[in-house]
Chain A
Amino acid sequence: MLDGLLLGLETAFTFQNMFFAALGCFIGTIIGMLPGLGPMSVVAIMIPVSLQIGDPSTTLILLAGVYYGAIFGGSTSSILINAPGEAAVVATSFDGYPMARNGQAGKALTIAAISSFSGGTIGVVLLMFFAPALASFAILFWSAEYFALMLVGLSAISAFAGKGKVLKAIMMTILGLMLATVGESSLFQAPRFTLGIMDLQSGINFVTLAMGLFAVPEAFFLAIDKIRGEKSGSKKSQEINNLRINRKEAKSIAPVIGRQSIQGFLIGVMPGTGATIASFLGYAVERNLASPKERKEFGKGSIKGLSAPETANNAASTGSFVPLLTLGIPGSGTTAVLLGAFIALNLQPGPQLMQDRPEVFWSVILSMYFGNIILLVLNLPLVPYIAKLLTIPRSYLIPFVLFFAMAGAYIGQNNSTELLILIGFGVIAIIFRFADYPLPPLLIGFVLGQMFEDNFGRAMRNANGIQFIWERPMTLILIFSAAIFILVPLIRDWLNIKKK
């Protein structure tokens, strides 16, 4: 291992490779800010360009940098304009956006940058030392365990429900699960519930739903309420640009970063789960661990609520490299695209890669260290300028938010129906918000719905019945935990309302 590490060090830290790692981070950050272009699309777009380089190590270093940069770029649009263009950064907007609206955009972006850096870096350390061992653990997870894990992910919804809203949160999750059944499924032959609309054949587009649920209502509320629209714009730019995190804040997010780096990484290692479920679970776990006073802050601009998903999604992204590099199994959509790049470069990721091409294996891992540092160095000085976006007058900002949301749904599809569906979701979301129905659970239900049904179906087929629940101890434990996570807040909530 030491020889390989030294060889990787030699390869990764050449001027050429360091330059391409920095370039990848920069390109990824810029393009990742555009809604609709998540890491997977950005990496896919960059593959033909990067293959021109020729050297496999440099190509993969560039693509890994793009991947990291795109995840960070997605967080920026989530925090500043409540437009999460990718499922993994949805949870970032829950506390990041309220912070930005309270005039703490600079601080929010700084926390996001530091959390991403820490999550990514700790993830790389874990990847270096435990990759082969973790890979063999990950393949012990079968459909039954995945199904149970999805259930635990769905149980995270209680974290988004305030007092008296647990039932509403459950209803919203069910609605999200229902929307996830529209269109084609990998499990069945024919598309479902399309109502004869051709555009729904491939299901509801994530970006369309996310923008409809978050960005469109935000533009509407900013437009109808001048105070809401102008408050953040009128904040002194000094306050918005302020990047400083005081000692108390640093102390409070340090354990969150530590916990979520490990948890996020372990979730990322399991093929098929990835950064999305890691970020939702990270948010839910940290909310449950917080003191009652801190818990009240979640959803209103809690620094812990921002740090948790940001750390977890970056650690999980690193974790998703474990099955790719050690087993040749892509753990997420983006790593599946990266697998394509490996094949195009005549490399076969898997157990042999470490032996046959140690310079490629180790240089990719070591470039992640460098990529994380570059992201931090690149983004921290840019934070004041990025945060200044919020000082733009409302007459420019609001149409731009709306345009940004619509462009996200339109790019790559060139389909106007998609935009009408987006506005339809936006109107429904506005009505839900008037009646105080929480919207994040709807998106969580939608994001996890497809995986939930697919894994349930596979587990049922493998076991030829429902008995897999009690035959597999890990499944049983996970389902039991999920039931507790959902039932306890529900019963407490119901009793509270009745008592009053």
Chain B
Amino acid sequence: MLNLNRIIALLLLAFSSAYGFLSYTYHLLPFERFLAVKPNTMPIALSIAGIICSIAILIQPKASNEKIESDGTVNRADGEYLKNPQNFNWVQGVGLLILACIYSISLRELGFIFCTSLFLFLGGYLLGDRRYIILIPISISSSVIFWYLVEKVLTIYLRPWPNWIF
């Protein structure tokens, strides 16, 4: 049966093949055809290496000593989380990633200060913090301080407010 390890090897094989196809069909400019190294020379070599390597991972016998340390400590091996998924808080992890996506999309529209304050507040809320009296001031003050440091001290432009205000 395919395990995650081999599924990824298969995906890498597909990626290397697609990359190889793009490299092989890369449109060379007329003068580039006579260069010692063409724009697709290295990519073609890399795609061949990628295909060979991913096939080797696919056919490589599974190491019997591939044990996962499950000592329950901070250094728990990452593969452990899939063994007993019910023991872990996936909602918080995936929720944070979704929140990060929403933050990315709305950052320009809502402006840095408002959007970041909201992100930090909702992030804390999602992770179970209900002490609004601490959470709200920390979220707002952190984003304001960060914005001030970047825009005013380092003079790197960051739109602070939503589009419709300024």
Contact = CB atoms under 8 A, between A and B. Distances in A.
A224 B105 contact: no
A398 B129 CA distance: 12
B22 to A, nearest CB: 6
Given A168-B57, A171-B53, A399-B123, A497 B63 contact: yes
User: What does DSSP make chain A's interface, helix, strand, loop or mixed?
Assistant: helix
Contacts of A465: 36
A434 B82 contact: yes
A224 B93 contact: yes
Interface in B3-41: 4-5, 7-9, 12, 15-16, 19, 22, 26, 29, 32, 35-37, 39-40
A356 B135 CA distance: 60
A31 B154 CA distance: 9
Interface string B96-114: 1100110111011000000
A26 interface: no
Interface stretch (A84-92, A182-190, A251-259, A368-376): A182-190
A438 B60 CA distance: 17
A90 to B, nearest CB: 19
A102 interface: yes
Contacts of A464: 36
B46 A178 contact: yes
Interface in B40-90: 40, 42-43, 46-47, 49-50, 53-54, 56-57, 60-66, 72-79, 81-82, 88-90
B163 interface: no
Contacts of A181: 42-43, 46
B136 interface: no
B76 A228 contact: yes
Contacts of B8: 431-432, 435, 437
Interface stretch (A5-13, A131-139, A401-409): A401-409
A433 interface: yes
Interface residues of A, number: 79
Given A167-B60, A410-B107, A464-B36, A178 B50 contact: yes
Contact of B101 (A185, A394, A423): A423
Contact of A220 (B97, B116, B146): B97
Interface in B106-164: 107-108, 116, 119-120, 123-124, 127-129, 135, 138, 142, 146, 150, 154-159
A436 interface: yes
B138 A416 contact: no
Given A174-B50, A457-B37, A419 B107 contact: yes
A34 B36 CA distance: 42
Nearest to B101: A423
B155 to A, nearest CB: 7
B104 A396 contact: no
Nearest to B63: A164
Contact of B92 (A102, A187, A223): A223
Contacts of A31: 154
Contact of B155 (A45, A175, A228): A45
Contact of B158 (A163, A414, A431): A414
B68 to A, nearest CB: 8
B119 A416 contact: no
Interface string A92-104: 0000001001100
A395 B24 CA distance: 49
B97 A192 contact: no
A192 B39 contact: yes
A441 to B, nearest CB: 12
A189 B29 CA distance: 9
A336 interface: no
The 4 A-B residue pairs whose C-beta atoms are closest, nearest first, are A399-B123, A419-B104, A395-B129, A224-B93
Given A178-B46, A398-B123, A399-B123, 17 more contacts: A37-B154, A163-B63, A174-B53, A177-B46, A178-B16, A178-B50, A221-B93, A224-B81, A395-B135, A402-B96, A403-B119, A411-B158, A419-B100, A419-B107, A436-B66, A437-B8, A456-B37
27 contacts: A37-B154, A102-B74, A174-B50, A178-B16, A178-B50, A188-B32, A192-B43, A221-B81, A225-B81, A227-B72, A227-B76, A403-B116, A412-B156, A414-B108, A414-B159, A416-B104, A416-B108, A422-B104, A426-B100, A434-B79, A434-B81, A435-B8, A453-B42, A457-B37, A461-B35, A497-B60, A497-B63
